[in-house]
Amino acid sequence: MSSIETIDIIMALDKSEDHEARIKKAARKLKVHPSQIHDIRLRKHSIDARKKDIMVQLRIEVGLGMMLPADPTISANYTSVANNAAVMIIIGCGPAGMFAALRALELGYKPIILERGKDASARRFDLAPLLREGRVIEDSNYCFGEGGAGTFSDGKLYTRATKRGPVRDVYETLVAHGAPHRILTDAHPHIGSNLLPNVVKAIRQSILDSGGEVHFKTKVNGLLKSEDGKKIHGVSTTDGKEFIGDSVILATGHSARDIYSLLASEGVLMERKTFAVGVRIEHPQPLIDSIQYHYQRGVKRPDILPAARYRLATKIGGRGVHSFCMCPGGFIVPAATENDEVVVNGMSLSRRDSPFANSGMVVSVEPEDTAEFDAEYGILSGMAFQKSLEVLASKAGGGEQKAPAQRVTDFLNQKTSSSLANTSYFPGLLSAPLHELMPEFIVSRMQTGLKKFGKGMRGYITEEAGMIGFETRTSSPLRIPRNDENFQHPEIHGLYPCAEGAGYAGGIISAALDGIKCAEAAAAVKN
């Protein structure tokens, strides 16, 4: 009898790569003789390190009495829209904008992407003065440019937003454009900042080959609306051009502050929302490995195990305290978008072989926490709060993108560090009292949260751990509202607020999914 079965099996770590062991385990679970298994294919792979005996969890597809059919070929094929009259204007070339463009092609619309930054290759060169001279090129940096903030800051693909749309389709699209095939089976897929730029460039080429347009160094400075202001038909740019389309998808990311200012000046409805700020916390990766994999420090991590990650979260005094964007085997990078600020973020290469592990450690900020900025900045008070911390970090670090830093133990004891822990942050650090620089409501909650985390993850609180300020760009402080049914702004017909910058996503995959949904919504509405 022939059949195809999908089963979940758990195996000891030392057998996880043993094909024969997998067959025997599957045979026992299916209650058949191993000889009846003619084919076996891995569908999902994860490591469970919660207990001392590390286990590997596998989802496998088994061919009983038959070979498994070949998987469909994953390829990037899009119909040409070069001569199509229907046009979608997409502002921003991050994951939301790029996936919106790919979906537009499938729906018969010509996508026109407008991106303030440069293409991925040129953008890479602009990171050199940022790292070596501490000089920010304000429209081409870790936040702005082709691929968005994720291109040069890690490329983590794991998402819990599985109910938001076809996650598998997004992964397959990435593979079709050059991403490693393993992202289809890894439980926590990751491309890496060294590989992701080529994937991004390949997606751009698909858009161009199918008749779409991508305009770099093209910064939007105005909305073209009807006389009554209730319908948008295009945008203007700083170089004096106008782009006209049937719809406008606003996918600018959470750091395009000029867009928020533009919307505020034109009276476009926006809403305050919760966001989070804090620091980057950095440990030696071998320390995190020893904690998470339950072995003594100094023991070499087996090659089969990835650099260990962690996720920490609690609630203190009505505010969330949590780790954010954890980068095992990674680096801390300067993510400022203007020269008078210091912002830090994390990234990893595909190998994740840096000797450091870093993570954001942040505290939730509610709209009432930024009330001191209300009188001057109104709806933009959260943005002003972020900016004030970034300017403060620049001054405390001494300029040139040097960042203020403190040992974790000294932060908890509220004293300035006489020396600092080793770091991956290339521009350099300057010892500073972070416990005095950050607002008290953040400091007190972070101190309490860290103590709690240290009890659950013994060894986490150590003199080897450093805190670097400030992590402020976790998400947008604003939401640009949209209707639940048609995704349009409630007051402007044809405007589709999208992804992170509009407050509807948080990461590469969720942003890509939101871009797809916005493109579908725009195509479904006759403007």
Cα–Cα distance measured from residue 152 to residue 123, given in angstroms and rounded to the nearest whole number: 9
Is residue 266 located within the same domain as residue 278?
A: no
Is residue 316 located within the same domain as residue 402?
A: yes
Question: In this structure, is residue 47 part of a structural domain?
Answer: yes
Is residue 352 located within the same domain as residue 454?
A: yes
Element (H, E) at 495: strand 495-497
Is residue 103 located within the same domain as residue 28?
A: no
Question: Is 149 in a helix, a strand, or coil?
Answer: helix
Domain at 40, CATH number? 3.30.70.2700
Query: 125 lies in which domain range?
Result: 87-271+478-524
What pLDDT is stored for residue 162 in this prediction?
63
Element (H, E) at 10: strand 3-12
Beta-ladder partners of 103: none
3-class SS string, 242-295 = EEECCEEEECCCCCCHHHHHHHHHCCCCCEECCEEEEEEEEEEHHHHHHHHHCC
Is residue 328 located within the same domain as residue 361?
A: yes
Is residue 261 located within the same domain as residue 279?
A: no
The last residue of a domain, from among 427, 444, 471: 471
What pTM value is reported for the model? 0.95
Question: In this structure, is residue 151 part of a structural domain?
Answer: yes
Q: Are 285 and 353 in contact (CB under 8 A)?
A: no
Is residue 142 located within the same domain as residue 190?
A: yes
One-letter amino acid for residue 263 of the chain:
L
Do the strands 55-64 and 313-316 form a parallel or antiparallel pair, or are they unpaired?
A: unpaired
The last residue of a domain, from among 439, 455, 471: 471
Q: For 58-99, what is each residue's pLDDT tens digit?
A: 999 999 999 999 999 999 999 899 988 899 999 999 999 999
What pLDDT is stored for residue 457 in this prediction?
96
| Closest alpha carbon to 334 in 138, 156, 508 | 138
Q: For 430-456, what is each residue's pLDDT tens digit?
A: 999 999 999 999 999 999 999 999 999
| Closest alpha carbon to 259 in 307, 223, 297, 215 | 223
Question: In this structure, is residue 80 part of a structural domain?
Answer: no
What pLDDT is stored for residue 9 in this prediction?
94
Beta-ladder partners of 516: none
Cα–Cα distance measured from residue 94 to residue 499, given in angstroms and rounded to the nearest whole number: 10
Give the chain's residues under pLDDT 70: 153-155, 160-164, 526-527
What pLDDT is stored for residue 526 in this prediction?
61
Which burial class, exposed, middle or buried, applies to 252 when counting CB atoms under 10 A from its CB (0-12, 13-18, 19+)? buried
Is residue 316 located within the same domain as residue 388?
A: yes
Question: In this structure, is residue 82 part of a structural domain?
Answer: no
Is residue 186 located within the same domain as residue 125?
A: yes
Domain tally, the chain: 3
Question: In this structure, is residue 142 part of a structural domain?
Answer: yes
Q: Which DSSP state fits 448?
A: H
Is residue 283 located within the same domain as residue 254?
A: no
Instruction: Spell out the residues 6+ positions from residue 220 whose beta carbon is closer than 8 angstroms to its own.
Output: 91, 114, 116, 235, 236, 237, 238, 259, 262
What pLDDT is stored for residue 19 in this prediction?
87
Question: Is 193 in a helix, a strand, or coil?
Answer: coil
Using alpha carbons only, how large is the chain's radius of gyration in Å? 24
What pLDDT is stored for residue 61 in this prediction?
96
3-class SS string, 362-413 = EEEECHHHHHHHHHHHHHHHHHHHHHHHHHHHHHHHCCCCCEEEEEHHHHHH
Q: Are 415 and 464 in contact (CB under 8 A)?
A: no
Is residue 486 located within the same domain as residue 363?
A: no
Question: Is 1 in a helix, a strand, or coil?
Answer: coil
Question: Is 186 in a helix, a strand, or coil?
Answer: strand
| Tokens 């940022």 found at | 130
CB atoms within 10 A of CB 17: 11
* 262-266 contact pairs (CB < 8 A, 24+): 262/220, 262/221, 262/222, 262/223, 263/480, 264/378, 264/379, 264/380, 266/223
What pLDDT is stored for residue 154 in this prediction?
64
How big is the CA angle at 367 (ends 365 and 370), to the nearest 5 degrees?
A: 80
Instruction: Spell out the residues 6+ positions from residue 321 whose beta carbon is closer than 8 angstroms to its own.
Output: 313, 314, 315, 361, 362, 363, 364, 445, 446, 448, 449
Question: In this structure, is residue 501 part of a structural domain?
Answer: yes
Question: In this structure, is residue 169 part of a structural domain?
Answer: yes
The last residue of a domain, from among 471, 487, 511: 471
| Tokens 């751009």 found at | 204
Is residue 99 located within the same domain as residue 141?
A: yes
CB atoms within 10 A of CB 225: 20
Q: Are 110 and 87 in contact (CB under 8 A)?
A: yes
Cα–Cα distance measured from residue 147 to residue 150, given in angstroms and rounded to the nearest whole number: 7
Domain at 141, CATH number? 3.50.50.60
3-class SS string, 316-377 = ECCEEEEEEEEECCEEEEECCCCCCCCCEEEEECCCCCCCEEEEEEEEEECHHHHHHHHHHH
Question: In this structure, is residue 72 part of a structural domain?
Answer: no
